[in-house]
Amino acid sequence: MSEALPGLAAQPSVATPRHSSSVILVRESPAGRETFWVLRGAHLRFSAGFYAFPGGAVDGEDGSIPVAGAQGEEARLIAAAARELFEETGVLLARGLFRPEVLPALRRDLLEERKSFAQILEELRASLDASLLAPAGRWITPPFAPIRFDAKFFLARLPEGQQAEVWPGELASGGWIRPADALARWAEGSALLHPPILS
């Protein structure tokens, strides 16, 4: 049986990063270009109280949703990005002739697990398309963190006629902000930002 030598601490185990996707959602406003950020709830295990872009971990279903213009891992990450954005903001990045006013009820069905994201896309006769999300970087949580993510970021425009809205739950709040104003809030200490969001 092996034992640690006296005076030498055992090396801590390094958590394996989970694959995740985040969406930098942007729109043009009279004040200029704005992005939608969300405030993560104080009860969460990862990044509680930090501002972030909508997103989260890839799940098993994401790999079964077809994505035009993408295959394999890229398609899975795009599906996760679209699903997480819909869950957290109600914005659906998909091709189709669906009416925006039907989305809140379907979002509720998804959050309350009455329907899957794939079922919602099928009901709307909508499809995911890689051209709606532009790659915007990849960040991996440092090894010292107890919870780690291998996060792919995507840039997307707010679809015409849709509204981004945070509902109470996992997130504390959310809203549109100019990037310069977000950085100013970070500089004055009124907003916590992780390095991927800050850069």
CA distance 89 to 165: 5
CA 63 to chain centre: 16
Tell me, rounded to whole angstroms, the distance of Cα 59 from its chain centroid: 13
Q: What is the pLDDT of residue 6?
A: 55
Neighbours of 48 (CB within 10 A): 13
Q: What is the pLDDT confidence band of residue 106, given thresholds at 50, 70 and 90? A: very high
Asked if residue 42 has pLDDT above 50, the reply is: no
Quote the crossing angle between the two packed helices 103-111 and 117-124, to the nearest 10°: 160
| Phi, psi at 38, each rounded to 5° | -125, 150
Confidence grade of residue 27 (pLDDT, cut at 50, 70, 90): very high
Q: Taking residues 95-119, report their average pLDDT.
A: 97
| pLDDT band with cut points at 50, 70 and 90 for residue 11 | low
Cα–Cα distance, 179 to 31 (Å, whole number): 11
Taking CA 155 as the corner, what is the angle to CA 149 and CA 158, rounded to the nearest 5 degrees? Answer: 125
The dihedral built from the CA positions of residue 106, 111, 112 and 117, taken in this order, carries a sign that is positive
The one-letter amino acid at 165: E
User: Residue 95 is encoded by which pair of tokens?
Assistant: 């091709």
Give the mean model confidence (pLDDT) for residues 36-44.
73
Task: Give the CA distances from residue 149 to residues 47, 56, 161, in Å, rounded to whole numbers and listed in that order.
Answer: 11, 9, 33
Query: CA 59, CA 66: separation in Å to the nearest integer?
Result: 14
Q: Does the pLDDT value for residue 1 go beyond 50?
A: no
Mean pLDDT across the stretch 73-101?
97
Distance CA 17, CA 28 (A): 34
Q: Residue 2: what pLDDT? A: 43
User: What is the predicted pLDDT for the residue at 21?
Assistant: 96
pLDDT value at residue 113? 96
Query: Is 141:184 a contact under the CB 8 Å cutoff?
Result: no
Lowest mean pLDDT among 25-34, 43-52, 61-70, 87-96: 43-52
